[in-house]
Structure 1
Amino acid sequence: MMHVADGNPVTVISLIENNGVVRTTRTRNAAFASIQPEIVGVCGTDRHLFEGRLPAPAGTVIGHEIVGHVETLPPEFPLVADWDVRVGDRVVIAPGISCQRCPHCLRYGMYCQRRKLYGLGSAGHGIHGGLSDTVELLPDTRLFRVPDRLPAQRAVFIEPVACGVRAMHTASLTVGPLSGRRALIVGFGGIGLAVATVAAYAGAHVEICELDGLRQQVAERLGFPVATPSQVEPGSYDLAVECAGVPAAFAGAVRAVRPGGTVIEMGNFADAGPGEVPVAEICQRDIRVAGVSETRDADFRVAVDVVAHSPVDLAAAIGAVHRFQDLDAPEVLFTKWDVLKQVVCFD
């Protein structure tokens, strides 16, 4: 494992003014614990940052789907984990850090009003994103152990799968146990794949609604039945999860579920503009609607198990693997549209 010495330059890929990214260097701060990245996934949220659709200051180091090894650990550095973290441990980072002191944290245990997020700019101007030689860990970062035997190109899906676990937990509060239920996943990008994997692992009958030909092919290759929006039978699903990030898809998800069904909205994390909300239909057919964007510790623990044991060949969804050392033109990570999932590997 390569070690970046304190004070040595660290290569990072960060946002610049007026959208875009640049490969540059920073100096590591010895006060922070750190992780040597092994593999980092590129998320749709990263693309939204690149395009300026989500607010983040220039200098933000991108990347929040981070698997790596603990590189440095100052004495008594405060991390949140269910084991005694040691240098060399293989871990995944939970991107969100809650303050544990604001009214929302104290009352709900979530929805922090001062939440910091790796790779999204709210963690400050240190090296707090995955696209870097080393990642500086903030106090109270949540870490979860990754089995050494788990291949990197599966392990990289733990963070998005944790989001899928949260979505399915939320759905189960109204739908009940997912086993035997019909679940429609609207949109088969990275998050759609994650949600479909979790739903199938829970025993649901999963179908994908997708227009893009490449994504249709990937979904079918991974074993998921695929339909276009015009082929979806209205009122026939117990659960629909909107993962396309297209406002118009929400109305289609509402119409797809049966009376008393549930719709989960998690694709429109970035504001893509207004969309139709069929409020009368939601009311008349007693449809439950919930948004999902945060994860809990329990979601990550379940996600590690799902990624380790799901029969879905997650790695087969990766269409491009980049070496961090070779990314002289990092824009390709956010402008390449002919693949479902991209990852960055570190030697």
Structure 2
Amino acid sequence: MRVTLEEGRALLRSSPPPRPAGASSVLVDIELAGLCRSDLKEVAGARHGPSQFGHELVGRVRTSTVAGLTEGTRVVLDPNVRVDRGTGFADRMWAAGPPALLRQALQPVPDGLPARRLVFAEPLACAVHCLRVAGRRAGDLAGAAVTVLGAGTAGVLIAALARRAGARVTLGNRGHERVAAVRRTGVAGTDVHAFDRLPDRSADVVVAATSFVVPAVLDVARRILAPGGLLVLYGGTAPGDRHPGLDCDLDALRRSESVSALSWQGRPVRVAGSYGTAEEDFDAVVRLLSDREDPLAAEALVSAEVDLEGLVSLLSAAAPLPPGKVLVHPDPR
């Protein structure tokens, strides 16, 4: 069983997953998957770049021709490593390609951790990577005033990690309903406010972690960013995206992870991009999730759980998703 995306529609297929072409391959039994906002963008036809549909997953190797990925190895997926694979919204997923890339794409994780925690490995790796970018561009984040715009899963995780790095963190969101929901989880561990409550020129670093980096979000960032501060573009952009008064190609800057020093309506700022992950980010995530004294309990963000049939119904409905993370079980519930 698997959920595929075909011509903008999510369809439930009962046939076995097809094995991609390639001499080296791995078949993974899926334990649990998470629904990402980028999956919703793909369904809506609003996401740019290669498909990553069904990429937040934790599973176990069933069969493999790749050294280091032996039968029984528990893995999560780095979707930014280009291998041929099926959807992770399935009971099984094939991946094929060069052995070195398969070992990068399928990152081993410990047996002793619950799947409900490990399913956050990929979004957490993206958050770790974002904070690495911010640290490289802004220096030590300890003591810095960091404001994260967007209280979805990504924004909450970035805020939580920035707090652990010693930053003075504020989390902002456009809608008041999401603000209240995030406060109840306690995962961010910091103040959560609506955008209109964020004080002017209060942030040394602003991370734009909304689903899309739209002009309204950039206007908030400009208002709250201190002169000479750093804006990190994390949320979605499209080719050619620009913003009035900000002389740079936002999408090119984000995807290349470059940085530009600019004047924005007479104020000096630096704009940097964060895109994807690196292998060391997953190593850091395993340490975070395995910490017995102070584990990052990301599973508190779970707001709904469905099986594969329920996922198709959810993706076909016109109603908005509940705030928080939706988990997808491969077996009927």
TM-score scaled to structure 2, two decimals?
A: 0.81
Which among 319, 323, 339 is matched to residue 303 of structure 2?
319
Per the alignment, residue 30 of structure 2 pairs with: 37
CA distance in 2, matches of 1:26, 1:344: 18
272-281 or 211-220, larger mean C-alpha shift? 272-281
Q: Is the 8 A contact 1:157 1:194 kept in 2?
A: no
SS in 2 for 1:47: helix
Which among 139, 144, 148 is matched to residue 185 of structure 1?
148
What's the C-alpha RMSD, in Å, of the aligned pairs? Answer: 2.7
CA distance in 1, matches of 2:222, 2:96: 40
SS in 1 for 2:313: coil
- Whether 1:137 aligns to 2:105 is no
Per the alignment, residue 289 of structure 1 pairs with: 271
SS in 1 for 2:264: helix
CA distance in 2, matches of 1:40, 1:269: 25
- Whether 1:72 aligns to 2:54 is no
- Matches for 1:51-130 after TM superposition, within 5 Å: 51-54=44-47, 62-74=53-65, 77=66, 84-97=68-81, 116=82, 123=84, 127-130=85-88
- Matches for 1:270-285 after TM superposition, within 5 Å: 275-278=243-246, 281-282=263-264, 284-285=266-267
Per the alignment, residue 220 of structure 2 pairs with: 252
- Whether 1:229 aligns to 2:195 is yes
Per the alignment, residue 254 of structure 2 pairs with: none
SS in 2 for 1:45: helix
CA distance in 2, matches of 1:334, 1:56: 25
Q: Is the 8 A contact 2:39 2:52 kept in 1?
A: no
Per the alignment, residue 174 of structure 1 pairs with: 137
SS in 2 for 1:198: helix
The aligned amino acid for 2:232 is: I
Per the alignment, residue 219 of structure 1 pairs with: 182
CA distance in 2, matches of 1:322, 1:272: 37
Cα distance change, pair 14–87 in 1 and its aligned pair in 2 (3 A): same
In the TM superposition, residue 48 of structure 1 has moved relative to its aligned partner by 0.4
Cα distance change, pair 333–291 in 1 and its aligned pair in 2 (3 A): farther
CA distance in 1, matches of 2:316, 2:160: 27
Deviation string 1:139-179 (CA, Å, 9 cap, x unpaired) is: 21213222222222211111011111111111111221112
The aligned amino acid for 1:22 is: L
Deviation string 1:23-56 (CA, Å, 9 cap, x unpaired) is: 1134442862111111111111100000011258
The aligned amino acid for 1:91 is: V
142-151 or 154-163, larger mean C-alpha shift? 142-151
The aligned amino acid for 2:78 is: A
- Whether 1:331 aligns to 2:315 is yes
Give the paired residue count.
301
- Matches for 1:303-318 after TM superposition, within 5 Å: 303-309=285-291, 311-318=295-302
Structure 1 residue runs of 5 or longer lacking an equivalent are: 1-10, 79-83, 98-115, 118-122
Deviation string 1:238-259 (CA, Å, 9 cap, x unpaired) is: 1110011241202311332222
SS in 2 for 1:148: coil
Q: Is the 8 A contact 1:23 1:330 kept in 2?
A: no
CA distance in 2, matches of 1:291, 1:177: 18
Cα distance change, pair 22–330 in 1 and its aligned pair in 2 (3 A): farther
Q: Is the 8 A contact 1:250 1:265 kept in 2?
A: no
The aligned amino acid for 1:152 is: A
325-334 or 170-179, larger mean C-alpha shift? 325-334
The aligned amino acid for 2:202 is: S
Q: Is the 8 A contact 2:203 2:226 kept in 1?
A: yes
In the TM superposition, residue 306 of structure 1 has moved relative to its aligned partner by 2.4
Cα distance change, pair 317–145 in 1 and its aligned pair in 2 (3 A): same
The aligned amino acid for 1:256 is: I
Which among 8, 14, 23 is matched to residue 4 of structure 2?
14
Deviation string 1:49-77 (CA, Å, 9 cap, x unpaired) is: 000112589xx783011211111112xx3
Q: Is the 8 A contact 1:186 1:241 kept in 2?
A: yes
SS in 2 for 1:53: coil
CA distance in 2, matches of 1:64, 1:93: 6
CA distance in 1, matches of 2:144, 2:273: 20
SS in 2 for 1:286: strand
SS in 1 for 2:272: strand
Cα distance change, pair 61–283 in 1 and its aligned pair in 2 (3 A): closer
The aligned amino acid for 2:171 is: I
Identity of aligned residues (%): 28
In the TM superposition, residue 201 of structure 1 has moved relative to its aligned partner by 2.1
Per the alignment, residue 264 of structure 1 pairs with: 232
The aligned amino acid for 2:27 is: S
Deviation string 1:77-102 (CA, Å, 9 cap, x unpaired) is: 36xxxxx33211111111122xxxxx
Deviation string 1:96-150 (CA, Å, 9 cap, x unpaired) is: 22xxxxxxxxxxxxxxxxxx37xxxxx4xxx522112211122212132222222
